[in-house]
Amino acid sequence: MEATLLGISPIIWIAGALAFYMAWGIGANDVANAMGTSVGSGSLTIRRAIIIAGVFEFTGAFLAGGHVTDTVRKGILDTTEFAANPELLTYGMLAALASAATLLLGATRLGLPVSTTHSIVGAIVGFGAVSLGADAVNWGKVAQIVASWLTSPLMGGTLAFGIFHLVQYTVLGRDDPMDAAKKAGPFFVFAVVFMIGLVTMFKGLKHVALDLDFVEALGWAAALGAVAALIARFALVRIEPQPFEEGQSRFRDVERVFAVLVIMTASSVAFAHGSNDVANAIGPLATVVNNVQGVDLAGKAPVAPWMLMVGGIGIVIGLGTMGYRVIETIGKRITELTPSRAFAAELAAATTIVLASRLGIPVSTTHILVGSVLGVGLARGIGALDGRVFGKILLSWIATLPISAGLSIFFYFFFKGLLSP
């Protein structure tokens, strides 16, 4: 009989530890997607950003994180092909967690924002190719992911470029920018809350009892946006401009308005990110647990609350311990950000996430955010971008799949040798 600790199989203990390790990597690397622009623009201190992101990431992961785990488990590989040797799938998923988390650790130490989804997909491709053969891999899905290296930043960057020019035309370029902000502000608030609503409904609440079709989601998001815009209108007209001191920017008060919008948008992206990317940690965990317990591989792997807790806590701890490294890259090293530029980038990212989700286009939140930051930088001219930093980021994106696949092959044979009877 297999030895157990507290009545739990050692394999499940190992899988839980590796899932926590992976969630820690997600928090350390990927949370910059939500908070990097807020810190870089001065809208939030890094301490406050970590606290806010921790709350929303954990809430999203724990309350709404169960709906996407099956996508990680299936799609790249047909798990029913492991029916004759289910233990091979267990070794493979352990290898996927170990390799993807190790890749994230290395990228985070270098301050490079990489896609956690692509990390786990590359790992699944690696062990799948050696355990079942290259023909078992869905290379069409892999090709879509490779194409997203271009589509994700291009979509985010194009929208961010356009949104920032709109901000310049309607507010920053006016003779009295604060008066212009009071007039245009409610429309920007509507756009933010509308997109927050759609991001949350499409990406964050599928696991809970909220099943809205596209038209219903649009209606609810528009209603929320209209209420928020009305509140913003009354709040903005009551703002009295503060007297300027010598050397201060005439955009000071305006940027304070945009700082609030940046924080709102970043918080919603953090919630949506936690609800989706926690699957990269607990998807393989759910597969291992249910495989050990004899659940049919053709069915969905049930996700227990404790798995969501492991993922949520891991993300928060990763964010708190090493998240500052990638936050700094996103927020400060690609281009100089102000709250208005950060607002354009965040709104563009949220819009891109909604459009891509609705159109079924596979995109990376990391790539979208980086592209959006590039877009607002490009709006100021090519000289406003640090090409060397973006070059390193681009190389890290290209290297993610092959490195995670190679590590996964190593860990697959390691766990096979360690755990085989």
For the cut 60, the answer to whether the pLDDT of residue 74 exceeds it is no
At 111 the pLDDT is: 92
At 68 the pLDDT is: 46
At 393 the pLDDT is: 92
CA distances from 264 to 63, 66, 108 (A): 19, 24, 26
Residue 21, both tokens: 């390790």
Q: Look up the pTM and report it.
A: 0.86
End-to-end C-alpha distance for the chain, whole angstroms: 12
How far apart (Å, rounded) are the C-alpha atoms in residues 216 and 252? 39
What value does the mean pLDDT take over residues 240-254? 69
Phi, psi of 77 (to 5 degrees): -125, 150
H helices of 31-138, where? Answer: 32-40, 46-64, 69-73, 86-109, 116-131
For a pLDDT cut of 70, what percent of the chain falls above it? 87
How far apart (Å, rounded) are the C-alpha atoms in residues 125 and 342? 36
CB-based contact 218:355 (threshold 8 Å) = no
At 374 the pLDDT is: 93
pLDDT in tens, 327-370: 889 988 889 899 999 999 988 988 887 777 677 666 788 888 89
At 413 the pLDDT is: 96
pLDDT in tens, 181-198: 888 989 998 998 898 787
Phi, psi of 49 (to 5 degrees): -60, -40
pLDDT in tens, 307-329: 888 988 998 899 889 988 998 89
How far apart (Å, rounded) are the C-alpha atoms in residues 290 and 286? 6
CB-based contact 385:157 (threshold 8 Å) = no
The β-bridge partners of 5 are: 8
What value does the mean pLDDT take over residues 257-279? 81
Residue with tokens 């209209």: 226
What value does the mean pLDDT take over residues 103-126? 91
